[in-house]
Structure 1
């Protein structure tokens, strides 16, 4: 049973509130808003890899580089389960067409964004080219909610959309890691992250289970779970975060190598499923424990990143919107049709080819990840602000999706 509104309020409502407050604040008193964003928590603290190893810890750095790591860890958990579990949503032929459509949903926005930028001239292109990944993002929660409004809860296109959004998140994490380093690359530090992941997996996960083989009471695994709980993984996560910081890869991705090492259930009911709360494995226990802290983190993320003056609207705004509203639907429809009809992978029963276009319109809601990519793609300033405005305006894709659904004759299917 799916509780989309509960998920939306749990993970996104505070984010929206924070973004709205930021927009109002930045347009009423931009100077005080900027002062708040760059509020200094610690004037000089050791972080390594930066000049003499010291830097200023601001509120913006704390939220975007440190605390958002927990948000991306939750996203990674869903992607990991979708790939690794036997009933995972991204395994087997059922995921083939959505995965191919996801490729189109990323290449389409890139082509439109860069193509229009080139058309506007070399000066514009040079200024905005680094933001090519901003319109590739899809906000899972809001897209899923709008998808249900357009198609109805029981329509196969809704499940297709969810698979596509999860795969899009996975692609987004890869793009962030490879193309948007936070500093000079020092990839040897990734070996430290890998070592932390391997060590915690062997000592806290594999070894207790190995010692318990043949013993149904599982005394060693029980002792580790009851006495050590999540602490070994938290220590490994801190090491991995620091290693990512030192490697030059954005440290918000630093917990990703640790997520697969945590003991998890042999099944998953889905990111929006109420049944997920009844799984008691350590990975799900950690996710449930992080729910309220991540809500607060997302509030501050919206508050610290969405404060853009409306006067900042310029070419990057429209390029991001064009990438999302034009590139996403066309890319998903073309690649989805290629997979379904040319590659003979097919579509779910009850789903039409034209539904791929409507799904693309829904997936054009970028918001959370688009905001994050904008904040790392460009330095603070006019271009970043304009690109962020495009990410915020992508909420307009909800209206476009409803209109597209009616024009194409979508018949809602309720549970």
Structure 2
């Protein structure tokens, strides 16, 4: 009788996988540092005597949108386009293409989205002045910051953990992107949506028939973005869709696929420009309210969701699935390693700030953003300590061996 194939949780990586993950980590470390710097500048600027100039910059009209809208709807579209390319690569030729290897990170990501949302909702539904519409804010993991922290303090950790965090963040992005499309879109304009769909179809047809007209590709991408924006669906969804429709597999004699080429060319622009610009335009919250912030159910829900809900969801989902199925953790990895990475998943930042903007206006929006910044900082510091300790433990084992 044929033996059933066991699921491998955090399997060892091939040499090619190690190189790919390593390259991605190095890029994200730089991007995370730049975005963090931009966020710090925004917070200091917004709370300085020159806060009026910061507000004027955010509301500066630049054509059809103001600077803040260009950052959220424009710059982040590039970020989500690169995320879409990464998603497509993972689905077709990466870790998500092997179901046995991907099932546990996928479940962990889903639980890591659901548990923070539930915690936030419970807090806000049981409070007299709660705002339950922000339930998705603590559900997102910021891939750039999380990987940056892991790269800095977890150099001696097994490479499987890096791949796990990358897969987790990719699936997390996909789920939150779907949430934004379904729950955070305004009134739908079918005519504009049809034009956006036509541009996306044109992008796919050019890919399918191997037609290399890059000027046409650029026109179609801009058209898809603008018509998606005008349709009432958040414009960043166009970026994800374009990435998912880009060809990943190489043709015979082809050195790189279109997805590989675009990701290689655009990833530095996304990491060094798009995300920092968004952080500069969105993270500048005026820290005020004192004790009022501490008791605000929106703040409590976001902080509990990111700092507590994320680790519970990611670790709990992973552990339960391994207990209830034939999944096995790799011999080089300990559950304490997974717990440390689960805490790191509570770094929300970029996408959480975006969902805060989509969920609220006025004081509630500023409170939510403040909570995201505080919770992400707490999660990063806690995870940094835990990962450093686990990295030191692995380094000692390696030296003894």
Once residues 370 and 283 of structure 2 are traced to their aligned partners in structure 1, the CA distance between those partners, rounded to angstroms, is 8
> Would you say the 8 A contact 1:105–1:331 is kept in 2?
yes
* Partners of 2:23 and 2:207 in 1: CA distance: 32
Q: Which moved more, 1:73-82 or 1:28-37?
A: 28-37
Per-residue CA deviations over 1:263-311 (Å, capped at 9, x if unaligned) read 33449xxxxxxxxxx9633223223332454322222211110111221
| Alignment match, 2:6 | none
* Structure 1 counterpart SS, 2:369: helix
Aligned to 1:131: 134
Structure 1 position 360, deviation (Å): 1.5
Any idea what the Cα deviations from partners look like across 1:319-352, whole Å, max 9, x if unmatched?
A: 2111011101111122111211113323233333
2:95/2:167 contact within 8 Å kept: no
CA shift at 1:411, angstroms?
3.2
Q: Is the 8 A contact 1:139 1:368 kept in 2?
A: yes
- Structure 1 CA distance, aligned partners of 2:339 and 2:268? 35
Residue of 231, 236, 239 corresponding to 1:252 = 236
Partner of 2:184: 180
- The 3-state SS of whatever aligns with 1:311 is coil
TM-score in terms of structure 1 length: 0.80
CA offsets per residue over residues 100-120 of structure 1, 9 Å max, x none?
Answer: 11111111111111122233x
Q: Aligned partners of 2:159 and 2:257: how far apart in 1?
A: 31
Match of 2:371 among 378, 390, 398: 390
TM-score (norm 2): 0.83
1:286 aligned partner: 262
In the alignment, is the contact (CA less than 8 A) between 1:340 and 1:346 conserved in 2? yes
- What residue in structure 2 maps to residue 100 of structure 1? 107
Instruction: Choose from 340, 347, 351 the match for 2:329.
Output: 347
- My pick for the range that moved more, 392-401 or 3-12, is 3-12
**CA distance 1:402–1:257, change in 2 (3 Å):** closer
Secondary structure in structure 2 of the residue aligned to 1:330: helix
Give the whole-Å Cα distance in 2 for the aligned partners of 1:288 and 1:159: 19
CA deviation digits over 1:203-252, x for unaligned, max 9?
x23234xxxxxxxxxxxxxxx43xx2x22222221221123123211012
- 2:199 alignment partner in structure 1: 196
Q: Does 1:298 align with 2:275?
A: yes
In 2, Cα distance between the equivalents of 1:151 and 1:105? 24
Q: What is aligned with 2:143? A: 140
**Is the partner of 1:114 in helix, strand or coil?**
helix
Cα distance in 1 for residues equivalent to 2:383 and 2:29: 22
Aligned residue for 1:273?
none
- Aligned match of 2:62: 41
1:7-406 to structure 2, matched below 5 A, reads: 7-29=27-49, 30-42=51-63, 45=64, 57-85=65-93, 87-119=94-126, 121-123=127-129, 125=130, 128-148=131-151, 149-150=153-154, 152-181=156-185, 183-187=186-190, 189-202=192-205, 204-208=206-210, 224-225=211-212, 228=213, 230-266=214-250, 280-294=256-270, 295-312=272-289, 314=293, 315=296, 316-379=298-361, 381-393=362-374, 394-404=376-386
Per-residue deviation at 1:84?
A: 2.0
Query: In the alignment, is the contact (CA less than 8 A) between 2:35 and 2:276 conserved in 1?
Result: yes
SS of alignment partner, residue 62 of structure 2: strand
Say if 2:30 and 2:148, in contact at 8 Å, map to a contact too: no
Q: Distance in 1 between matches of 2:302 and 2:146?
A: 17
User: d(CA) in 2 for partners of 1:136 and 1:90?
Assistant: 24
Q: Contact 1:97/1:347 (CA < 8 Å) preserved in 2?
A: no
Distance 1:256 1:141, change over 3 A: closer
How many residues are paired up? 366
> Would the aligned equivalents of 1:150 and 1:401 in 2 still touch at CA under 8 Å?
no
CA 174–192 in structure 1, closer or farther in 2 if over 3 Å, else same: same
Q: CA deviation at 1:178?
A: 1.0
Cα deviation 1:9-39 (Å, max 9, x = unaligned): 5423322221111111110133222111101
Superposed CA deviations along residues 104-158 of structure 1, whole A, max 9, x for unmatched, are 1111111111122233x232x2xx2111111111111221233352473425333
Q: Is the 8 A contact 2:250 2:257 kept in 1?
A: no
**Are the aligned partners of 1:69 and 1:252 in contact in 2 as well (CA < 8 Å)?**
yes
Unaligned runs of 5+ in 2: 1-18
